[in-house]
Structures are given as structure tokens and as C-alpha cells.
């Protein structure tokens, strides 16, 4: 067992690897969505498929990454690289493309083929896995942006990539990559961003090999085991501070993009012995529209909530996941089955899962804030020649000790925004207004954060897709605090639905007013 100092040193060394992978990716990517907004994530896994460390990136990406490694693990061979986006076999939704590199024991071995490879390694098992997930601005489908509101089947949302080997022995097959992007809009941009992901994964493999060479493979394996067990102990200790019992909560989505019928998400959380069992029985069944959620994303939301209850110094590794169990009947909204469409499930249903879990855990004495905006406010402009995708911040809920911050990404999102200078210099769009939305946060002893106003004008005809929530059902206040304001979507001054797909003429003005956070405590 490592001592406290050794444990902290190794935890920081491990965490530095995915952070560097993320830096390589954003500095190499071509699309603003990855380069500027940092809509991407990186993580490092052991040879057994356990999460060793993750960067402080996107919660909905990171919590679902173990599923991608789990799919690859039975066929993993050192030096091979896999690409996937199928949400039912390791992905989240189609725009999120994942690269998984099986880390070879040495750089020389990575380029070695056949029998010589076996002689050099003595085994084909990888040292570990370097994983990079990035949201591509388009992967094909019915509409630019590959998130068509109301899509009914997965194939309508874009190119589906099952786990596909794109490199053997560390040698990338460019023809395979070219084939993957052929059905996407701006394939040269997609191809460039995939190249950046491959570079980021390669950096992760390089750094992991260096650690194994410096400390010895046995020491590294023991350190991983120790840190996983330590994170589990710390997680159990934190969760043991909650009141044991069974707690129920319910919230709703505002329709599936085809109808506005509310869709309930219900959870029954059992808190006992430092563990959470989250049972979603009673949640709405899977629906025709694309708010369905694959189980990997549901698990990701639950892990995000659990992590929020931990002290900051608990390592972000697979040990925490040992304390969280998900029960979700197959065929319900949060455990959808193929071929149901899931684009909005990843970005919006995940937010509501987090909301409802926080509601339940507040009853158990968890120190949680009032509800934040509970939406990513997805907005997409595009044609066959260009695509702009953005998620917008809003108000965070207030807490027991402080007001909620304004104009921030909340819950399962954690991206930056596209700088206006970049947006206007590269796309036929202009930003007319970008400001806070005063008074949208709920009042209370501590006030909820305010949403934002983002107003854009299209300079040429294009298509618009909006996938938003909290336009009718407000973010709830907590402990007597008032609800936050609902959001608004307007096109040329006229309100449009929360989930909208329409064509725009040149000069059309789109205004989004994002929700505020709930207040905490009686005013």
C-alpha cells in the first residue's frame, strides 16, 4: 500500500496524462467546436479497463467512457487503435466520436508486425488505454449538426460507427479513416479533427509508457490498484455522511421533439453503507423522438452527481463508480434500445437525470444547490458547406452558503463558448447581443444565478436546429427559494418551440434567453 505522500504524487502524475492529452487535442483540432469551445474529453485506463485518471473536461463524456473501453477490452491488442460513436456500443450520441488507443509496451513495438511483435512483447495485452472523445460539429444525418429535433431513428442523426479498428501495430490505415468521414458534411474538417484525436491518444500512450519505464510496470500496477481502492474508501466515507434510507424524486422533460407531452423521470435512491442504488423504475418508456438516453449516459449522470458529493481531493478514477449502482428497465427513457434516436438524450435527458438525483439526495441531507438551468441550450446553424454548434450557459442554482453563479454551464456540460471574433470571422453569422439576463435567477436567502441572452443574425440562407429544455417547467428553488425563470427561443421576435427545426432566410434574427437558477432559502 502506498503512503500518503506517494499516493498523492502518483495520483497527480496519473492525472497529468489526460490533461496533456486534452491540451494536444485542442491545440491540434481544426473545428472551432473543439479548438475554441473545448467540447472534448480525455481519460486514461489500465490494462484491465479500470479508469485510472480523467481530465477536468465534460461530465457526460467522461462518465460514459468506461463503456467504450469495456467494448474494446475483449479484443484489445497492444498497438491497435479503435474509433466508435455508436451510443449502443460504447458511445454517447453520434457527434461524439471516441478514439481508443491500446497502449503498446514500447514505441518500437507499436510499429512491429506479426511474429516479431510477439517476440518483442511476450504478450499482446496492452499496458493500458488512452481514450479521447470529441464532439464533431457534423457527422451527417438529416440536418446540419447531426442533432435533428424529432429524429426517430439513429441513422437519421448521422453516420453510425460501430467499434472500428483504424490502426494495427500502431500503423494507421488512412483509407479506413477516409471511409468513416465520407458520409459527413465537411469531411476534410472531420478528418483533421480525427487526426488531432489520434495525436492526443498517442501522447497519452507515450506518457504512460514513460511512467511504466521510470517506475516499473509492477509499481505502476500496484499504484493503480491502491488509488482505485483509496478512491472507493473515500467515496464510501463521503456517502456514509448521508442519512441512510430510500428517497424518491421526479422531474419531467418537456416533450420529445415530436410532441410536447411531458415525460416523467422518476428515481428511487437507496442510501446505505456508503453506496447509492439509483432505481429508475417508473420512468417514462422510450419515445419516438430523440430524447432517449442510452444506459451509458444515465450512468454518467449518476457518477457526476456522486462526484459532486465528494471532497475535491478524492481521485477521479474508477473507485468512485464502485459505490454507485444503476437500475433501469430496458426500454425505458433512460435505458433506450436500438434503433431509437438519442442525440437529445445525451445533452438534455442527462441534465434532467442529474436534476432528479440531486432532488432525491437533498432529502438525504446532501449539501446540494437548488436546480440550475438544467439544459445545454443547443443551437445549430448550417448548410452543406458549414456548421455552427454551440451550447449556452445559464444560471446555476443557489446554495446554502452562497448565491448561484450567472452565465455558466451547468450539470453535464462544461465547455467554453465560441469567441465572437472567431465565430464572425469564420462563419456567415453575426452576434448582435451577448449579455446576462438580469432578474432571471430565483429570489431567496441566496439568489439563483442569471441566464444569458444570445442574439445572432444569419447572413445567408441556412437551417436552424434548437434542442432546449426548461422553456415551460422552471428550475426549482430549494428550502423556500423561488424558481428560476424559464428560457425563451425567438426567431424574428416570434416564440418558437423548445425543440425546433426550420429554414432561415438571410437576415433572420435568432434570440435565445437561457433559464436562471433556483433560489435557496426563504427571502
The residue out of 198, 232, 266 marking a domain boundary is 232
What is the pTM (predicted TM-score) of this model?
0.95
Between helix 295-308 and helix 350-363 the angle, nearest 10°, is 40
Q: Is 360 part of a structural domain of the chain?
A: no
pLDDT computed for residue 107 by the predictor = 65
pLDDT computed for residue 115 by the predictor = 46
pLDDT computed for residue 119 by the predictor = 39
Angstrom distance (rounded) from CA 484 to CA 210:
50
Q: Is 349 part of a structural domain of the chain?
A: no
Domain range for residue 214? 4-232
Q: Is 252 part of a structural domain of the chain?
A: no
Q: Is 520 part of a structural domain of the chain?
A: yes
pLDDT computed for residue 366 by the predictor = 97
Q: How many CB atoms lie within 10 A of CB 188?
A: 10
Q: Is 150 part of a structural domain of the chain?
A: yes
Domain count, the chain: 2
User: Average pLDDT of each block of 10 consecutive residues along the chain (523 residues)?
Assistant: 91 97 98 96 97 95 96 95 97 98 78 46 79 98 97 97 95 96 97 98 97 95 97 97 98 97 98 98 98 98 97 95 98 98 98 98 97 98 97 98 97 94 97 98 98 98 98 98 98 98 98 98 95
The residue out of 232, 247, 282 marking a domain boundary is 232
Helix H, strand E, coil C: the string for 55-100 is CCCCHHHHCCHHHHHHHHHHHCCCCCEEEECCCCCCCCCCCEEEEE
CA-based nearest residue to 239, from 264, 269, 216:
269
Q: Is 411 part of a structural domain of the chain?
A: yes
Q: Is 127 part of a structural domain of the chain?
A: yes
The residue out of 172, 207, 232 marking a domain boundary is 232
Q: Is 13 part of a structural domain of the chain?
A: yes
Tell me the backbone φ, ψ of residue 444, rounded to 5 degrees: 170, -175
Amino acid at each position: 500500500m502506498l503512503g500518503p505522500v506517494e499516493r498523492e504524487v502518483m495520483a497527480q502524475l496519473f492525472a497529468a496524462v489526460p490533461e496533456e492529452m486534452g491540451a494536444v487535442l485542442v491545440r491540434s483540432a481544426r473545428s472551432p467546436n473543439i479548438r475554441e469551445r473545448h467540447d472534448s474529453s480525455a481519460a486514461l485506463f489500465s490494462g484491465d479497463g479500470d479508469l485510472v485518471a480523467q481530465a477536468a473536461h465534460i461530465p457526460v463524456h467522461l462518465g460514459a467512457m468506461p463503456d467504450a473501453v469495456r467494448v474494446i477490452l475483449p479484443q484489445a491488442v497492444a498497438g491497435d487503435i479503435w474509433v466508435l460513436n455508436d451510443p449502443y456500443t460504447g458511445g454517447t450520441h453520434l457527434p461524439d466520436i471516441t478514439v481508443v488507443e491500446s497502449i503498446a509496451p514500447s514505441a518500437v513495438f507499436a510499429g512491429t508486425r506479426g511474429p516479431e511483435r510477439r517476440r518483442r512483447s511476450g504478450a499482446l495485452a496492452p499496458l493500458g488505454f488512452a481514450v479521447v472523445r470529441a464532439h464533431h460539429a457534423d457527422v451527417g444525418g438529416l440536418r446540419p449538426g447531426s442533432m435533428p429535433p424529432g429524429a426517430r431513428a439513429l441513422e437519421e442523426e448521422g453516420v453510425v460507427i460501430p467499434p472500428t479498428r483504424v490502426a494495427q501495430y500502431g500503423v494507421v490505415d488512412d483509407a479506413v479513416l477516409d471511409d468513416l468521414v465520407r458520409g459527413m458534411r465537411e469531411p476534410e474538417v472531420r478528418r483533421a479533427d480525427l487526426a488531432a484525436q489520434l495525436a492526443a491518444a498517442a501522447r497519452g500512450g507515450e506518457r504512460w509508457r514513460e511512467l511504466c519505464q521510470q517506475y516499473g510496470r509492477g509499481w505502476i500496477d500496484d499504484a493503480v490498484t491502491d488509488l482505485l481502492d483509496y478512491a472507493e474508501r473515500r467515496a464510501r466515507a463521503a456517502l456514509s455522511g448521508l442519512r441512510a434510507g430510500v428517497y424518491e424524486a421526479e422531474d419531467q422533460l418537456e416533450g420529445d421533439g415530436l410532441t410536447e407531452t411531458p415525460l416523467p423521470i422518476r428515481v428511487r435512491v437507496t442510501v446505505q453503507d456508503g453506496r447509492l442504488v439509483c432505481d429508475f423504475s417508473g420512468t417514462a418508456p422510450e419515445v419516438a423522438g430523440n430524447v432517449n438516453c442510452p444506459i451509458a449516459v444515465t450512468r454518467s449522470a449518476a457518477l457526476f452527481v456522486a462526484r459532486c458529493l465528494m471532497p475535491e481531493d478524492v481521485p477521479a478514477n474508477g473507485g468512485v463508480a464502485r459505490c454507485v449502482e444503476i437500475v433501469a428497465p430496458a426500454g425505458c427513457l433512460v435505458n433506450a434500445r436500438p434503433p431509437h434516436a438519442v442525440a437529445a438524450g445525451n445533452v438534455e435527458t442527462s441534465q434532467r437525470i442529474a436534476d432528479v438525483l440531486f432532488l432525491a439526495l437533498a432529502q438525504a441531507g446532501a449539501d446540494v444547490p437548488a436546480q440550475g438551468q438544467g439544459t445545454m441550450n443547443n443551437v445549430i446553424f448550417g448548410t452543406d458547406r458549414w456548421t455552427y454548434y454551440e451550447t449556452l450557459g445559464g444560471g446555476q442554482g443557489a446554495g446554502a452558503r452562497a448565491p448561484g453563479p450567472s452565465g455558466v454551464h451547468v450539470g453535464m456540460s462544461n465547455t467554453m463558448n465560441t469567441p465572437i471574433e472567431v465565430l464572425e470571422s469564420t462563419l456567415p453569422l453575426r452576434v448582435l447581443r451577448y449579455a446576462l439576463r438580469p432578474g432571471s435567477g430565483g429570489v431567496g436567502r441566496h439568489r439563483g444565478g442569471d441566464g444569458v441572452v444570445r442574439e445572432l443574425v444569419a447572413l445567408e440562407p441556412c437551417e436552424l436546429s434548437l434542442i432546449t429544455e426548461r422553456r415551460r417547467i422552471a428550475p426549482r428553488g430549494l428550502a423556500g427559494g423561488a424558481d428560476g425563470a424559464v428560457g425563451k427561443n425567438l426567431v424574428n421576435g416570434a416564440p418558437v418551440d423548445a425543440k425546433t427545426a426550420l429554414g432561415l432566410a438571410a437576415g433572420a434574427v435568432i434570440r435565445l434567453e437561457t433559464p436562471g437558477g433556483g433560489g435557496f432559502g426563504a427571502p
